[in-house]
């Protein structure tokens, strides 16, 4: 299975493709035709977020056990909110914790990267519009989420959407083990077979009201076990078939 990485280069990045254990420069477009180029031998290198989405559409309360821990009823249809593109950071980039905002939580999530412009897509065709799957940490200022009616501020701080380390192309999102770790301790453990609304239904639901363009992201919600982060912590989202997204936390 292909894994697409974006290698940091100056202010931007260049795509690389992992195939059979080797890392190669990617030739072509990740949203069109691409193939492997030269083998990359000059490691180590720094990876950035694999895409810069025009928008992140996030799903809330999509695991029964998480809805229970938040003392909220199960939603009858997907609960959606968005995170701004300015919240995106890459692997190992620091999450900046605003101490004035109160409690700030990690939320380990499986995220879907859109590969083709999608509007009014039926669930049965949804995976034709998905490029692949990545890890996302839906970092949340929990006290502000409870205080504000809307989620925009609580979910929208700069650095509150770590993404990566890669896009696993063609990975079936229906049965993926997902874990959340803080400072080497496992805090979250579930599987996407526990999602209330699965990925194809989410693509149908979201594209019924807005167009998704290549690089946009749907993040599917977090399982139970969310908890606070503080400066000095290191948080990791781990998903089978993708890898680990690890970020340090610093004071904003």
Give the range of 36-44, 105-113, 143-151, 167-175 binding Mg ion by CB under 5 A: 105-113
Rounded distance, CA 150 to CA 223, Å? 21
| Smallest separation (angstroms) from Mg ion to the CB of 217 | 12
| Smallest separation (angstroms) from Mg ion to the CB of 46 | 26
| Smallest separation (angstroms) from Mg ion to the CB of 77 | 16
Give the range of 68-76, 95-103, 199-207, 222-230 binding Mg ion by CB under 5 A: 222-230
| Residue 138 is a binding residue for Mg ion (CB under 5 A) | yes
| Residue 93 is a binding residue for Mg ion (CB under 5 A) | no
| Residue 224 is a binding residue for Mg ion (CB under 5 A) | no
Q: Residues in contact with Mg ion, total (CB under 5 A)?
A: 3
Give the range of 32-40, 203-211, 218-226, 235-243 binding Mg ion by CB under 5 A: 218-226
Closest CA to 110 of 246, 242, 212: 242
| Smallest separation (angstroms) from Mg ion to the CB of 195 | 12
| Residue 105 is a binding residue for Mg ion (CB under 5 A) | no
Nearest residue to Mg ion on Cβ basis: 138
Closest CA to 235 of 46, 93, 132: 93
| Residue 222 is a binding residue for Mg ion (CB under 5 A) | yes
Backbone angles phi, psi at 131, to 5 degrees: -75, -45
| Smallest separation (angstroms) from Mg ion to the CB of 61 | 8
Give the range of 77-85, 106-114, 201-209, 235-243 binding Mg ion by CB under 5 A: 106-114
- Cβ partners under 8 Å of residue 246, min gap 6: 91, 92, 234, 235, 236
| Residue 107 is a binding residue for Mg ion (CB under 5 A) | yes
Nearer to Mg ion, 128 or 148 (CB): 148
| Smallest separation (angstroms) from Mg ion to the CB of 30 | 25
Give the range of 8-16, 100-108, 181-189, 203-211 binding Mg ion by CB under 5 A: 100-108
Interface with Mg ion (CB under 5 A): 107, 138, 222
């Amino acid at each position: 299975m292909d894994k697409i990485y974006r290698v940091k280069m100056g202010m931007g990045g260049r795509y690389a493709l992992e195939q059979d254990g080797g890392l190669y420069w990617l030739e072509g477009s990740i949203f069109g035709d691409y193939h492997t180029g030269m083998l990359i031998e000059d490691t180590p290198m720094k990876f950035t977020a694999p895409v810069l989405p025009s928008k992140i559409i996030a799903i809330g309360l999509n695991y029964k056990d998480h809805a229970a821990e938040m003392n909220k009823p199960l939603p009858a249809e997907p609960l959606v909110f968005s995170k701004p593109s300015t919240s995106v950071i890459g692997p190992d980039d620091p999450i900046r914790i605003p101490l004035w905002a109160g409690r700030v939580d990690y939320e380990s999530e499986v995220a879907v990267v859109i590969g083709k412009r999608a509007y009014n897509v039926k669930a049965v065709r949804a995976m034709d519009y998905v490029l692949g799957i990545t890890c996302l940490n839906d970092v949340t200022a929990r006290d502000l989420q409870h205080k504000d009616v809307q989620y925009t501020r609580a979910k929208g701080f700069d650095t509150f959407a770590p993404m990566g380390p890669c896009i696993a192309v063609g990975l079936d999102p229906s049965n993926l083990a997902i874990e959340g770790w803080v400072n080497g301790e496992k805090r979250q453990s579930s599987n996407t077979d526990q999602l209330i609304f699965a990925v194809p239904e989410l693509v149908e639901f979201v594209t019924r009201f807005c167009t998704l363009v290549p690089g946009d992201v749907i993040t599917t919600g977090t399982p139970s076990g969310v908890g606070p982060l503080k400066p000095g912590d290191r948080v990791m989202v781990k998903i089978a078939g993708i890898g680990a997204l690890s970020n340090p936390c610093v004071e904003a």
